[in-house]
Amino acid sequence: MSLEHRCADLHLHTYFSDGTYSPEELVAQAQRQDLQALALTDHDTVEGCAPTAAACDRLGIEFIAGTELTAEQDGHEIHILGYGIDLENPRFLTEIGKFQAVRQNRIREMVQRLNQLNVPLQAEKVFALANCRAPGRPHVARALVQAGLVGSLDEAFERFLKKNRPAWVPKFKMSAREATQLIHESGGVAVMAHPGLNRSDEGIPIMVEGGLDGIECFHTKHSAAISEHYLQMAARYQLLVTGGSDCHGLSKGRPLIGSVRLAYEHVEKLKARAAERRAATARHIPA
């Protein structure tokens, strides 16, 4: 494989958040798609990183540790991808532990609301199905379908779980700046996920000021024109360029892995920045 043709998918989920693939299935799919590198970016957790790294090792695929943090900018939810994080960093683990506790309490609250609407779902059913530290609305939707309380995942969201529907509960979010700082302090690189899904670009200069390293120009839901728009923005603000499919396995229709193929040169730049961040955090560790 010549250097120029190597490709990566830097936005992937497993069943450690709301994807359906195990790490082993995900990596097997990556091999089938002829990807040379991948990053795991489960929501608010890094639990899946060790098994995914091991699976990548077995198949000779390069692995980059990652996560997708839920954050907020100007009242809008945005997602910040963190790459190359030190998975043992105590502060990082404490902070995402808080996110996870909030997510678990939120499940209980959503179930309570459903019960008040005479939908007899049990929180334990959701936790058993989710079987991970970062459960979310997709797991509630799946549990509702499994219990025969709704006919489909879409129905679950439309009737109950979408924003401002009766069982919707807002999610705790840190500010984009806090998420960026947390990623930096953990030796990682902070990248704004799928900017094309946001309502506006207004927050981007503010996030750049807050230390944002990169922007996800290539994403399943970005048209060629949108990708081009964010490539220009990356050039203007000197941001790293990343891309990924945001594959959730089978939970959102067809598996998307391999449908967005990031040229490897961007992975190299990302790795170089991560190495700088790691070196900077190492210098700050008190003797």
Under the rule (CB under 6 A), what is the footprint of ligand AMP?
18, 43, 136-138, 153-154, 157, 162, 171
Least distance from C-beta 109 to Fe ion, angstroms?
22
Amino acid at 94: T
Give which of Fe ion, ligand AMP, Zn ion, none residue 79 binds (C-beta under 5 to 8 Å, depending on kind). Answer: Fe ion
Give which of Fe ion, Zn ion, ligand AMP, none residue 173 binds (C-beta under 5 to 8 Å, depending on kind). Answer: none
Q: Which is nearer to ligand AMP, 171 or 278 (CB)?
A: 171
Least distance from C-beta 205 to Zn ion, angstroms?
27
Least distance from C-beta 276 to Zn ion, angstroms?
29
Give the count of beta carbons closer than 10 Å to the beta carbon of residue 152: 11
Least distance from C-beta 115 to Zn ion, angstroms?
25
Residues 160-219 that bind Fe ion (CB under 5 A): 193
CA distances from 242 to 23, 159, 239 (A): 21, 35, 9
In sequence order, which residues have a C-beta less than 8 Å from that of residue 271 and are 6 or more positions away? 64, 84
CA distance 242 to 245: 11
Instruction: List the one residue from 14, 45, 46, 79 that touches Fe ion (CB under 5 A).
Output: 79
CA distance 140 to 153: 9
- Longest Cα–Cα distance in the chain: 60
Altogether, the residues listed in the chain come to a count of 287
244 neighbors 260 (Cβ within 8 angstroms): yes
Least distance from C-beta 43 to Zn ion, angstroms?
5
* Site of tokens 């700088």: 276
Give which of Zn ion, ligand AMP, Fe ion, none residue 136 binds (C-beta under 5 to 8 Å, depending on kind). Answer: ligand AMP
Give which of Fe ion, ligand AMP, Zn ion, none residue 218 binds (C-beta under 5 to 8 Å, depending on kind). Answer: none
Q: Which two tokens stand for residue 228?
A: 């081009």
Least distance from C-beta 216 to ligand AMP, angstroms?
15
Instruction: List the one residue from 72, 185, 216, 246 that touches Fe ion (CB under 5 A).
Output: 246
> Hey, is 58 helix, strand or coil?
helix
Q: Which two tokens stand for residue 120?
A: 């007899």
> Hey, is 244 helix, strand or coil?
strand
Q: Which is nearer to ligand AMP, 84 or 138 (CB)?
A: 138
Give which of ligand AMP, Zn ion, Fe ion, none residue 246 binds (C-beta under 5 to 8 Å, depending on kind). Answer: Fe ion
Least distance from C-beta 66 to Zn ion, angstroms?
13
Binding residues for Zn ion, per CB under 5 A? 18
123 neighbors 107 (Cβ within 8 angstroms): yes
Return phi, psi of residue 68, to 5°.
Answer: -125, 105
Give which of ligand AMP, Zn ion, Fe ion, none residue 6 binds (C-beta under 5 to 8 Å, depending on kind). Answer: none
Residue count at the site for Fe ion (CB under 5 A)? 4
Binding site for Fe ion (CB under 5 A): 68, 79, 193, 246
